[in-house]
Structure 1
């Protein structure tokens, strides 16, 4: 161990902490920073790890180096498991557990140094812990030393956050690692390409193969597909500690270790000479709009891909097989997205309230919590009774001490005996299917997960005695907005109280009500992953705050709907029509309908279209107060012209020609027909309709009716000429002119020549300006 690179830097690290109180240690994996640095620091040292498996492994390794059992001078504490004694000087804990210790003892009495390991992973608990430690150091414990360690991190930024802390760089001694890309072929699933890469890794070299996969589901897929001459070992955070420990020990035969991100840092998997990287990771995300949160699969960052590759060169030269095309390497994000930007912040908001800074503004953050998600989290805590007027309540402090998400803590507080159900809600990998009640029965009978489940039930202060506790009630207390009702008899689609639709796969029958524990969003619809059958009585009991009875007047399904409704959130329980809804509410609903569906709701007759076009011309030429006639402007004035409409039928029956005229104020309204006449009288005496949809306006008229007319007509106080569309005796276009006098001089001769032979019985005088106009274009014989 003395040959590891960090050994030479131990005096510098200790001196930096003694002189400055904070420091940043940047050292690649395999340099010994996790196991050699804490024992070299004076006094009592607490090491914070991002994961339970890493905490236990680091403690075991340091204890082995000291020649002691775990729990002597080196111990650990993780959720549900602790091995320490009065002689323990170095204690390795998870970041979340240390946050709860700080809440109960902000001075961290008796602790001299806190080591924050693997800061670059940017877990939510770790970022919160750093902010709280800095606050405690600023106010209560100026002597508390803080060392932040990382393999890949923006060290300068972290150093500034720690008060211009010194940065100590330790170079790595990793062996060379060759890189090969194994992209998927067309249509190949992730398990297919990974299995192919594992077989190649086994055939091209010796040693164990470490495979990085996004989650337990993919581990099962690849494990089922592998048929190789090697032991297949599983490693992820939900495994019992004994199985985790076994995966970290060398095997008698060659091994393929199928692991999640837990194997990226803080622990060494011995014997590994090759890494197969699926290129994906599972990270927490929350969709505030749909009320769904959980884990989603994303591409890894370049920093994570590099760190995973380094696992192949810890003990000897190695190889990494990346399951994506080589050209995609340059498109990977540089670092992982910090969880604080994307995860559910309800737990963080409760911790901040317990710390005394509900909005977190008084703290120094690596990345501050986004205001919108933090506000949503505080609203959730208020609904759960954990906050009142922004301050933590006694109930909120009790929920915080339980060490689970505040929603689950609410269920534990409000429903005695619910620990069995909460243990499954907190870790849905304990359930083999989507039926929560069936999963509980299987766990009670005995299953591969029973021992882990019972440990968690005991940790939550329960015991196997809550069998008559309704799992739907417990789930509804934790996730009231996920109570759901079937949308139609025989349907697999359910509407949740929060307003999101989810589909129910096979495995739970077709209950009318569900209490949804978890659901995935597919990009099109939510799909239930774990739920319990429920009924209306249970739903109302679980979510009384969502129960509303009110009169509702709104636009829905193309008409005004007026009803008295009893709802559980978005779910309608009962309804009956309102005989005489308030007029103001009806008018508002009609306006809302017009805003949503537009002028398609009214009937625009030819007369109305003409009025609209005439008004549009006057607005364009003369401006105010002549109103604009585009859709947006007409709809904006709906409060005037649609004031008497109470439903869709009334809208369809409106005289829109009169309605549009009503938008013109006096005295201008009195000149409307003068400025934009609907018809113009031509020399023959006919009153011909002007086409105002054309720009400029057009007057279609037969040539014989305008004989003797030398000046083209105008509208809008003479500002807009009307273009004449001169027609043949059959009504077909013969010529278009805006200069009638010029047409008689130059264009008429050609038109006369073309039409005279075709229409010989019609009058075609040589001088149209002196000819008598007529409606009857056929020459009548003289008597």
Structure 2
């Protein structure tokens, strides 16, 4: 059968014959995934070498391999095979290998030159899977250094091609128009206020009555899929099949979901974004898109990830819409308005900018790269997220302090799991509990096997899950009380756990079969191996303090909420404090045995307000958690001094015995610093508090309690901060008093607004023409002029202007109120006086 991609294949062959990189854009249904590898297989430049094609999803990888094998009239594993995690069907004859997840990365790490491979294809690259970005970066470096003849082909339907082309040295971009059938798009007339499940159920019923063919409904996650499925099954006739489709389903159930319905039946497929691209759901004529996607977002601030539901971008919505036009004209219901549609972001944010980068950082370390900038990326990983990942890997002993891979880290990478889980399995293996750890690992990696809410409330004790898995491993899922879990989920996880167990490295001890007792005893310890940063200690208010310093809370009704120590395996980081979703208890003896080397002994010296003395305690700490403490140890004089200084820094400089004289000296020194330069010490309250040690500690010898502060002579201490010449300059340029014409010494105030200023009666200023100036003339004194009764009359910083413009109005007023006092017509030639009138010269 002819497909649209066939028209562009000759140009693609010619391009790859002349260069080692290309970008191929093809509409959904063009046949790029299954036709292109077969068409290139016998090209001369390939010269008998193999093709590796990276698919972002496991179901798509299996389906693509099966379809290509069928085109050749062969079984999967002959010319065409696949390799996915825990499942491989290849042989010595295999030349096209469809891989997914981290398989390409493992191939490159094992053989950086990719000997035996002539072409690497990245299919559906627009999804920007983290592993695809990593695989492309490693492949480009391999091509540049080791294999110039290695071809790299990027394929997509909705990719922005220009940035990818530039990344690959301006690689040629080829485009196939595809063969999609027309799809009618129907929007809501106004935003819906219905719950998502109700809106979706109603729209499915409407579509069933209006249109023929199968229905593919996109929902954000498994929870919504199951609710819609249960609702539909209660009201639809038997000939309408309702099936789920999501990534963690058993392989056979996934394949059944995408097959055509039985004769005389209609099929409704409720899917996550797994059905967005790379595969065809047979018989679908209608797509109903909720417009949401669920993704894991990582916070470098907290070191925690959280699952968020968010708007799907336009490229994702277009991919979903295209599912309705793969084999015939179709219709797409979008559960949002046209106005909302215009506000959608153009493209889905790449996973490399949102996800936990610890796996990426581990793979780069194995590759020999410490900084992402050493490789070529379409989007360079965020520096903060990458640094957070490296810190975690150091804590997991995968990297040394310099960021280089350790032998333990190499073993972790070879397991191919998330670094946390790899570390947990390796550590548990050293205790002979590797098989139990594999059971726990599948529980931690997959979605929760328990319904989130049970009749007894939310059960967040991970031991309950591990107990179910352990019993099922011993007697089978069919003979085990699954406590609400689905038997198919448990069976699938058991198979996966056994596969992991078969790959356990030699730890030098026998790996014991899991038991109920071991599951109960070791669950928390094993979780702590995976999440050492989330070991938590119960606080008095019932909340938990995590080792990382982050706070976390647990519903008070949970049994675990009374445990002194827990390990949080899953948290929701939405609020101020993380909410613990899954956890397990940890004993103090386990902490002491397995984390003693990571604990630090600290001595805390602090002020005890109750006794007015310095108290000391010794603490054994694991991160921010205090494991043990010994109170009332005898502190050294140095420790006491440090505590006293900290008391001042925390409590404020006012704790010292200030008096008027010392405050005035402080203000005078600050005045000279402001007007005469930074050679003068900074004696502001803030500076004295922040730098209390250097200036105050020499005077604290023998101090033991807060009351000892009273003996401090702050005036002398501050004066000692000045050298001899500064002391002389201070007396001359920032004096405590100035002499006025009446002969009085008037105090200068250096604090407050308008400083420096003096308050002086008017008649004592007669004969003084200009405002006195300080600090080598840089600062004038503000004059607060008083009446004979010392009441404010005028404030001026320009005495000459006062005599000329204001004095006569003031004189008129004061003369009426104080007629016996001396009010000369010419104040500049008058004699200043402290009394009512100046003394008479009797000569």
Report the TM-score when normalising by structure 2.
0.80
Task: State the number of aligned residues.
Answer: 773
> 1:473: which partner in 2?
525
* Residues 1:586 and 1:349: Cα distance change in structure 2 (over 3 Å): farther
Does 2:56 correspond to 1:50?
A: yes
- Out of 546, 571, 583, the residue aligned to residue 496 of structure 1 is 546
- Out of 684, 690, 693, the residue aligned to residue 748 of structure 2 is 690
Measured in 1, the distance between the counterparts of 2:463 and 2:771 equals 86
> 1:781: which partner in 2?
none
- Out of 470, 486, 494, the residue aligned to residue 538 of structure 2 is 486
Does 2:179 correspond to 1:173?
A: yes
Measured in 1, the distance between the counterparts of 2:89 and 2:134 equals 25
Does 2:373 correspond to 1:313?
A: no
> 1:574: which partner in 2?
628
> 2:695: which partner in 1?
641
Does 2:779 correspond to 1:720?
A: yes
1:702-761 deviation line (CA, Å, top 9, x unaligned) = 44555665554433345433222223466543222334465455534433444555x468
SS at match of 1:509: helix
Tell me by how many angstroms 1:263 deviates: 1.8
Matches of residues 284-433 of structure 1 in structure 2 within 5 Å? Answer: 284-323=296-335, 326=338, 329=341, 332-357=344-369, 359=371, 363-370=375-382, 373-388=385-400, 391-415=404-428, 416-417=434-435, 418-432=437-451, 433=459
SS at match of 1:514: strand
Measured in 2, the distance between the counterparts of 1:123 and 1:651 equals 66
| 8 Å Cα contact 1:696-1:720 kept in structure 2 | no
Tell me by how many angstroms 1:72 deviates: 5.3
1:174-223 deviation line (CA, Å, top 9, x unaligned) = 33445555498598766566667666766775554434333334444655
1:360-396 deviation line (CA, Å, top 9, x unaligned) = 6765444455555445544444443434565544433
SS at match of 2:53: strand
| 8 Å Cα contact 1:625-1:665 kept in structure 2 | no
- Out of 686, 706, 725, the residue aligned to residue 667 of structure 1 is 725
> 1:242: which partner in 2?
252
> 2:499: which partner in 1?
459
SS at match of 2:724: coil
Tell me by how many angstroms 1:37 deviates: 1.9
Measured in 2, the distance between the counterparts of 1:648 and 1:345 equals 51
SS at match of 2:568: strand
Measured in 1, the distance between the counterparts of 2:6 and 2:651 equals 72
Matches of residues 29-178 of structure 1 in structure 2 within 5 Å? Answer: 29-42=28-41, 44-65=50-71, 70-71=76-77, 73-84=79-90, 88-106=94-112, 108=114, 110-138=116-144, 143-162=149-168, 164-178=170-184
Bigger mean CA deviation after superposition, 518-527 or 372-381: 372-381
Measured in 2, the distance between the counterparts of 1:598 and 1:430 equals 55
| 8 Å Cα contact 1:472-1:532 kept in structure 2 | yes
| 8 Å Cα contact 2:604-2:617 kept in structure 1 | yes
* Residues 1:760 and 1:520: Cα distance change in structure 2 (over 3 Å): same
* Residues 1:323 and 1:537: Cα distance change in structure 2 (over 3 Å): farther
* Residues 1:664 and 1:460: Cα distance change in structure 2 (over 3 Å): same
Matches of residues 202-217 of structure 1 in structure 2 within 5 Å? Answer: 207-217=213-223
Tell me by how many angstroms 1:114 deviates: 3.1
Bigger mean CA deviation after superposition, 379-388 or 558-567: 558-567
> 1:450: which partner in 2?
490
Tell me by how many angstroms 1:566 deviates: 0.5
| 8 Å Cα contact 1:707-1:771 kept in structure 2 | yes
Measured in 2, the distance between the counterparts of 1:154 and 1:78 equals 28
SS at match of 1:173: coil
Tell me by how many angstroms 1:265 deviates: 1.2
Measured in 2, the distance between the counterparts of 1:187 and 1:92 equals 44
* Residues 1:33 and 1:543: Cα distance change in structure 2 (over 3 Å): farther
Measured in 1, the distance between the counterparts of 2:142 and 2:675 equals 71
SS at match of 2:281: coil
Tell me by how many angstroms 1:405 deviates: 1.5
Measured in 2, the distance between the counterparts of 1:103 and 1:742 equals 87
> 1:509: which partner in 2?
560
| 8 Å Cα contact 1:430-1:453 kept in structure 2 | no
> 2:4: which partner in 1?
5
1:525-578 deviation line (CA, Å, top 9, x unaligned) = 111121112221223334344222243558999998753211112111112357
SS at match of 2:560: coil
| 8 Å Cα contact 1:183-1:323 kept in structure 2 | no
SS at match of 2:270: strand
* Residues 1:608 and 1:776: Cα distance change in structure 2 (over 3 Å): farther
> 2:821: which partner in 1?
763
1:298-337 deviation line (CA, Å, top 9, x unaligned) = 4433332332333333344444455556556565544333
* Residues 1:571 and 1:738: Cα distance change in structure 2 (over 3 Å): closer
* Residues 1:141 and 1:707: Cα distance change in structure 2 (over 3 Å): closer
- Out of 589, 592, 597, the residue aligned to residue 537 of structure 1 is 589
1:437-460 deviation line (CA, Å, top 9, x unaligned) = 111223333431211110111111
Structure 2 portions without partners, runs of 5+: 42-47, 429-433, 452-458, 473-479, 503-511, 838-843
| 8 Å Cα contact 2:69-2:76 kept in structure 1 | yes
Measured in 2, the distance between the counterparts of 1:337 and 1:102 equals 26
Measured in 2, the distance between the counterparts of 1:516 and 1:675 equals 66
> 1:28: which partner in 2?
27
Does 2:579 correspond to 1:527?
A: yes
* Residues 1:161 and 1:606: Cα distance change in structure 2 (over 3 Å): same
Measured in 2, the distance between the counterparts of 1:115 and 1:32 equals 14
SS at match of 2:749: coil
Matches of residues 586-605 of structure 1 in structure 2 within 5 Å? Answer: 599=653
Measured in 2, the distance between the counterparts of 1:107 and 1:717 equals 78
| 8 Å Cα contact 1:281-1:297 kept in structure 2 | yes
Cα RMSD (Å): 4.0
Tell me by how many angstroms 1:126 deviates: 1.4
SS at match of 1:518: strand
| 8 Å Cα contact 1:385-1:396 kept in structure 2 | yes
Tell me by how many angstroms 1:494 deviates: 0.8
Measured in 2, the distance between the counterparts of 1:555 and 1:336 equals 54
